[in-house]
Structure 1
Amino acid sequence: METVLQLQTVLCDESANLALRFRALFSLKHLGVNGDLKAIDAIAAAFSSESALLKHELAYCLGQTKNDYAIKPLRERLDDLNEAAICRHESAEALAAIGGADSLPLLRKYLDDPEEAVRQTCELSIAKIEYDLSEQAKNEDLQKSAFASIDPAPPLPSKMKSISELQDTMNDQSLTLFYRYRAMFRLRDIGTPEAIDALASGFADPSALFRHEIAFIFGQMSDPHSKDALLKVLADTKEDGMVRHEAAEALGSIGLPEIDEELLKYINDPEKLVRDSAIVALDMSEFEKSGELEYALIPGDVRA
């Protein structure tokens, strides 16, 4: 109990280093995944933060707990039209990660939201919940992923389609976003340089949400082969902030000194979302090079 309160104090401290707050968050997420409701409360308490980047990460972590207890604060965030779009989108996605038909009416309410990222995420989230509740989900033979995350769409079955066919499917604007995401996550699970190149083609998609998901996936993969594509996205000042932010964090997850030199250029970026992400990315890179097992604070290292 004391550990949760210490972590919450760090997480909610607006004067604390953002990277330290992220580490506190992921410590709380670990506790929340294991059913600690006080940890979930501690995460939700930080929604009072001024940082859109942090709040979006809070929503993601609440979804990954897959605990119904986290539904209420997530619904409140999605319902708050004054909240940053990046946080509302992540809240909608998190509701789908937790699952359950009870969230469908709220998600349907925002299918016509003024923010494209919100309405597209609601479309995806509805499709995921309906899929999870379907006979198809029970009967599909899906390869077990090496990634433990609860994703916005399951990968396509492993016997379906070559890399080039998956790339075509992923980029086919005539298909549903959910099915295209399924092709995207199958390419992630294949994980070869050819699959990474196929994924990188998704950076040409008209949807910022779609492009941000490509960058997120590259962060999960942490493969140096994605470096050049991510650096190009990060350097594009005309790119949407949610995409550039995700590219920065993905670069941090690769953990190479030459990438650190590039990330340092963005700690004073005009866009707060990007400069905050560069700070967190540099800390992530330090973690990747350290050999530590968990990107989190060890309870004994918590500084209130």
Structure 2
Amino acid sequence: MSSAPEIEQSDILIRMGSILNSEMEPMKKRFRALFTLRNLGGHAAIDAICESFTSSSALLKHELAYCLGQMGDRYAKPVLEQVLKDENQEPIVRHEAEALGAIADPSAISVLSQYKNSAIKEIAQTCELALQRIEWINSSPDVCLSNGDRTIEPVPPHPEHLRQLLSIENLEMILLDCTAKLWDRYQALFTLKHIGLESDGSALLRHEVAFVLGQLANPVAMDVLQRRLCKMDENCMVRHECAEALGAIGNLECRRILEQFLQDKERVVRESCEFLDSVHKGILYFHIH
């Protein structure tokens, strides 16, 4: 006999799956349902998410694949492989082959190898990174995948002993070098993400790294920026720059985060969030440092 919590979770799964798969529901509500299913996990949640790959929204399908990768469950692999193979799917959706790299099942190597030379550059590069990640994980059995937040990243940051040898300037130079290998550029990005905002020694350094992450406007930095913005004892200069960086990323989740700080006790943080909120409602935004 099922327990009350199990029955309640089953009801939530059914309800969230129904919302996610309804074209009649507003997109923001469908995204909330998706994130709820991602957090619940399990095969039933994955099945509900996979049903929505028939949606007409490329953005939603992109997020579906991303969430499946973040769940890290091999059960989703066959559907993700089909999405990659489906040439009727938009490139922004197929590029989420990144999710196969996040799951890191070696049996995905065959299909990823097939598409690493795709004529669509974003798909080819994503498959290349996913293949390298699978190789990295399987050649390093003692590797630690924890990165201080809940995000599975497509490329690992440099290990601790190397981070101490790299300056922010070094990492930024590698990141912006168009001739460098894509893996190396990504590794610089994620190293920057991890060392800078977690540095206890200098608020100025943390502020500068938040600014660089904002200039890149890459969603991969969302979790660490949110965590630092939420840290109420952090220097207000750092928190303000984290808010600015989230505003530069500018997706729906960032907007939701910023709305939580419209009444912040620190005026500089509050006013940053007020300004960014007005921007996201239709006013042109210029990132100011």
The interval holding the TM-score normalised by the smaller chain is 0.7 to 0.9
In 1: Cα distance, 2:169 partner to 2:211 partner: 10
Which amino acid in the other structure matches residue 49 of structure 1?
A: S
Paired amino acid for 1:57: E
Q: Distance in 1 between matches of 2:207 and 2:220?
A: 14
Structure 2 counterpart of 1:20: 29
Alpha-carbon distance between aligned partners in 1 of 2:221 and 2:70, rounded to the nearest angstrom: 18
Q: Which residue pairs with 1:134 in the alignment?
A: 139
Q: If the length of structure 1 is used for normalisation, what is the TM-score? A: 0.71
Tell me how far 1:112 sits from its aligned partner: 2.0
User: Amino acid of the residue matched to residue 158 of structure 2?
Assistant: L
Structure-to-structure mapping, 1:1-304, within 5 angstroms = 1-32=10-41, 36-90=42-96, 92-135=97-140, 138=142, 145-160=147-162, 161-189=166-194, 190-191=196-197, 192-200=206-214, 203=216, 214-220=217-223, 221-222=225-226, 223=229, 224-225=240-241, 247-249=250-252, 251-252=254-255, 253-255=257-259, 256-265=273-282
- Normalised by the length of structure 2, the TM-score is 0.74
Q: What is the alpha-carbon distance in structure 2 between the residues aligned to residue 228 and residue 3 of structure 1? A: 35
In 1, Cα distance between the equivalents of 2:212 and 2:51?
40
* CA-to-aligned-CA distance 1:160-191 (integer Å, 9 cap, x gap): 21111111122223322112111111111122
Would the aligned equivalents of 2:95 and 2:122 in 1 still touch at CA under 8 Å? yes
| Structure with higher RCO (Cα < 8 A, 6+ apart) | 1
The aligned residue for residue 297 of structure 1 is: none
Code of the residue aligned with 1:13 in structure 2: it is S
Q: Is the 8 A contact 1:143 1:158 kept in 2?
A: no
Q: Name the CA distance, whole Å, in 1 between partners of 2:82 and 2:122.
A: 17
CA contact (8 A) 1:170 1:181 kept: yes
Corresponding letter in the other structure for 1:175: A
| Counterpart-to-counterpart distance in 2, 1:104 and 1:83 | 21
Q: Is the Cα contact below 8 Å between 1:96 and 1:152 reproduced in 2?
A: yes
8 A contact 2:70–2:102 mirrored in 1: yes
Give yes or no for contact 1:7–1:24 (8 Å, CA) kept in 2.
yes
Q: How many residue pairs align between the two structures?
A: 236
In structure 2, give the amino acid aligned to 1:225. E
Q: CA offset at residue 147 of structure 1?
A: 1.7
Please say if residues 59 and 94 of structure 1, whose CA atoms lie closer than 8 Å, have aligned partners that are also in contact.
yes
Distance 2:146 2:53 in 1: 34
Unaligned runs of 5+ in 1: 204-213, 234-245, 270-304
Secondary structure (helix, strand or coil) at the match of 1:151 reads coil
Q: Give distance in 2, aligned partners of 1:249 and 1:6.
A: 22
**In 1, are the aligned partners of 2:222 and 2:246 still within 8 Å (CA)?**
no
Q: What secondary structure, in the 3-state scheme, does the structure 1 residue paired with 2:51 have?
A: helix
Q: Which amino acid in structure 1 is aligned with residue 218 of structure 2?
A: A
- Aligned counterparts of 2:101 and 2:145: Cα–Cα separation in 1: 21
| Distance change >3 Å, CA 79–CA 249, structure 1 → 2 | same
Q: Distance in 1 between matches of 2:16 and 2:251?
A: 25
Larger radius of gyration: 2
Q: What is the RMSD computed on CA atoms of the aligned residues?
A: 2.4
SS at the partner of 1:132? helix
Moved over 6 A (4+): none
Q: Is the 8 A contact 2:214 2:244 kept in 1?
A: no
- Structure 2: state its 5+ residue gaps: 1-9, 198-205, 230-239, 260-272, 285-289
Deviations along 1:44-98, one digit per CA (max 9) or x if unpaired, are: 01111111111111101111111110001111110001101111111x1001110
Give the secondary-structure state (helix, strand or coil) at the position aligned to 2:36. helix
Hey, what does 1:277 align to over in structure 2?
Answer: none
1:206 aligned partner:
none
Matched-pair identity in %: 33
CA distance in 1, matches of 2:106, 2:246: 36
Q: CA deviation at 1:132?
A: 0.7
